[in-house]
Amino acid sequence: MLNGGLETDVLKILSDDDIKKIHNASMRVLEEVGVHVDDEEVLSLCEQKGARVDHEAQRVYFNEEIVMGAVKTAPSTVVLYGRDDDAKNIVLGGKKVYLGTGGTALNILDFDRKRRPTTAADIAKTAQLVDALENVHFFVIPCHPSDVESSDVDVNRFFHSINNTTKPIMGGIFTEDGVDRVIEMAAEVAGGRDKLVAKPFISFISSILSPLKVDSLRAKILIKSAKAGIPLATSVAPLAGATSPITLAGTLVQMNAEALVGVVLTQFVKTGAPILYSVVPTIMDMSTMSFLFGSVESAMMNAAGAQLAQFYKLPIYATGGISDSKQPDQQAGYEKAITALMPALAGANFIHEAAGQLDSGMTISYAQYVIDNDINGYVMRAVRGIEIDEDTLATEIIANVGPGGNFLTQRQTVEKMRTEFYYPKAATRTNYDGWVQSGKKDTWTLAEERAKEILKKHKPKRINEEIVNKIKEKEPGIVNV
């Protein structure tokens, strides 16, 4: 069937020679240009581990030996766990493909089709929705709760996610003590910190800024996360033409260097710490200075990113299923399809932002999650590929039916008709009359209907009430939704 984790690498947008050239160029950048780090703890650590550090300029330089040493000690497979449900685990690495949500939006296009700021309730509801959508394999916390005190944002984001889905959860951290408080809360749910670290159902995102910069808050999140043994994505988001070269090749060189900085720093903190080669390559619209998410160039660079990660034998956090359109429309459809399909066919492991997101990541929509679930279904079907064996070649069946017959009532037809094709749930596939009779509904409307139904009926496995009370005692800033 179409479970997450199917494998492929049929798309090769880079040749082996291209990969070598990008690698060499990235090594030169890390050794000669270096990385700005405005955190003395990290600079000292780098120096202690043998990197060349210029404390005054707050610059650290990594040679190839150091970088490749870290690449070697970083795990080739990182498992993100389902909460109390191993069927939901995602095993990142190699050519395995999973698609899931991404963050962090500030607005939602609600069922009334009006845009409003997102709240804690939207986190709970999107988690509940994703919990039921079979082609969304993980939950990156998608939005910012505007109704919560800023000091309590992190605990609220993670609490309402954990309480509404058992799929693996990942999220950015917005406060200095956020990592500690979220880990403590998750440990309570897991039944102890050792249990959480053994099977982490939460993971963190801490960005490295393009070009080539690590700031203090994010460095602290990185250190805490790596020390605690919680998986980490050090998202790097070069914006071609603005924060990286205009050429896709140059952006890949810088992106690769930045992604490897995340790997090196976490390995410096703790050898073997679970880290993802994390990339969000994008472009800028040079005619307007708009940040663009859903471009074909982004799709190409994410596919290239998958090849680079495979070259280093590191699991990749890539980006796909993204759009700059403001509502679930034609532009959203083609941008999402292209940007999800290309990295997937290249074997990108953790394709985030691939559900619910619109408006360059600034707006989410319940209906869009349902539409993207179908897009992801198409993508996973393509990842599964065309199985060739004696049975599927069906020569005997062709002979049995003979010229002029039909295959409708062949046993194989019935056996395979539900699995050989993917059936989208929010699409019109009837003839014109059928469409007219069912009310001439477009995809947006069909998806809204399905989203409403799921939110009404689906009951995710909640956190045990006793534990909820304990958590809320410690974290009184967690709001009720």
Q: Which is nearer to another protein, 174 or 435 (CB)?
A: 435
Cβ contact 41:240 at 8 Å = no
∠ CA 298-304-308, nearest 5°, is 135
Q: Does 427 bind another protein (CB under 8 A)?
A: no
Find out whether 275 and 317 touch, Cβ atoms under 8 Å. Answer: no
Continuous segment of H or E residues that includes residue 177 = none
How near is the Cβ of 10 to another protein at its closest, in Å? 30
Least CB distance to another protein at residue 431 (A): 5
For another protein, the closer CB: 409 or 480: 409
Part in contact with another protein (CB under 8 A); list of ranges 44-52, 116-124, 300-308, 424-432: 424-432
The DSSP call for residue 388 is -
DSSP 418: T
DSSP code for 90: E
Q: Is residue 403 close enough to count as binding another protein by CB under 8 A?
A: no
Task: Give the count of alpha carbons within 13 A of 26, CB side only.
Answer: 25
Q: Are 135 and 369 in contact (CB under 8 A)?
A: no
Tell me how far apart the alpha carbons of residues 397 and 30 are, in angstroms, rounded to a whole number: 60
CB of 414 vs another protein, minimal distance in Å: 5
> Which CB, 41 or 415, lies closer to another protein?
415
Which CB sits closer to another protein, 213 or 425?
425
Q: Say how far apart CA 4 and CA 130 lie, in whole Å.
A: 14
Kindly state the DSSP code that residue 480 receives in the 8-state scheme.
Answer: P
Q: Three-state DSSP class for 362? A: coil
The reply to whether 408 sits near another protein by the rule CB under 8 A is yes
| 433 part of the interface to another protein, by CB under 8 A | yes
Is the Cβ of residue 50 or residue 434 nearer to another protein in the bound state? 434
Closer of 95 and 425 to another protein (Cβ): 425
The three-class DSSP label of residue 278 is strand
Q: How far apart are CA 221 and CA 207, in angstroms?
A: 9
How far the first Cα of the chain sits from its last, in Å, is 36
Among positions 287, 288, 406, 480, the unique one binding another protein when judged by CB under 8 A: 406
Query: Out of 150, 434, 440, 474, which residue is the one contacting another protein (CB under 8 A)?
Result: 434
* 2 alpha-carbon distance from chain centroid: 18
Residue 145 CA, chain-centre distance (Å), reads 20
Among 418, 458, 462, 474, binds another protein (CB under 8 A): 418
When binding is defined by CB under 8 A, the residue of 287, 288, 330, 409 that contacts another protein is 409
# residues near another protein by CB under 8 A: 13
The residue to which tokens 């970083």 are assigned: 74
CB of 396 to another protein, least distance (A): 18
Nearer to another protein, 20 or 418 (CB): 418
414 sits near another protein (criterion: CB under 8 A): yes
Segment contacting another protein by CB under 8 A, of 275-283, 317-325, 379-387, 430-438: 430-438
20 three-state secondary structure: helix
- DSSP E strands in 379-434: the ranges are none
Q: Which is nearer to another protein, 395 or 406 (CB)?
A: 406
The answer to whether residue 402 forms part of the interface with another protein (CB under 8 A) is no
| 457 is a contact residue toward another protein (CB under 8 A) | no
- Select the span of 59-67, 127-135, 284-292, 405-413 touching another protein (CB under 8 A): 405-413
Q: Six-digit token pair at 82?
A: 């389902």
How far apart CA 416 and CA 431 sit, in angstroms, is 23
Instruction: State the nearest-atom distance from the C-beta of 386 to another protein, in Å.
Output: 21
Asked if residue 466 binds another protein (CB under 8 A), the reply is no
Does 227 engage in binding with another protein (CB under 8 A)? no
By CB under 8 A, which span of 32-40, 113-121, 229-237, 432-440 interacts with another protein?
432-440
Q: d(Cα 244, Cα 250) in Å, to the nearest integer?
A: 7
Under the binding rule (CB under 8 A), the answer on residue 417 touching another protein is yes
Q: Which residues bind another protein (CB under 8 A)?
A: 406, 408-410, 413-414, 417-418, 430-434
